[in-house]
Amino acid sequence: MSKSDVYNAVMGKIAKRLGREPRIVYELGGNPASGKVVDNLDEIAFRGLVMFIEIRQSLHGFKDGKTDSIVYTSPVTHNPTFLDVAAYADDMLHVMGDEHHVFLSRVSIIGNQYDDNSGIVLVGFTTES
């Protein structure tokens, strides 16, 4: 199977999960231009309770005219796979109205939810254009 075939299969799995064509361009398993491509969608990305979060501000305003911050939070999930990560990242792009920063290049732990010792890890997305 060629790198392009693997990548197209990965994007197809994401589309099937979403029930629509994904806005996200999934690069957490590599991309055909970078050389190596793996289907890691079934692998667990983070162990334990996780909430994905993104906060964005725009000095120039957003498409809907808002100028204040937009916050995205996913539901709390347990042992999310990379397919879950891709789905939440795509949902985040729709909430943000972002059609430009669609390349999902990294996800990182950014902290814990509140100070309530709930054990929920907060994870942020790195998307690029």
Q: At 20, list the tokens.
A: 């629509």
Range of the domain at 42: 3-128
Mean pLDDT for 69-94 is: 93
Sign of CA dihedral 63, 65, 71, 73: negative
Q: What is the pTM of this model?
A: 0.85
Position 88 confidence tier, pLDDT thresholds 50, 70, 90: very high
Task: For the chain, give the mean pLDDT.
Answer: 85
As for how many domains the chain has, the answer is 1
* pLDDT number for residue 80: 97
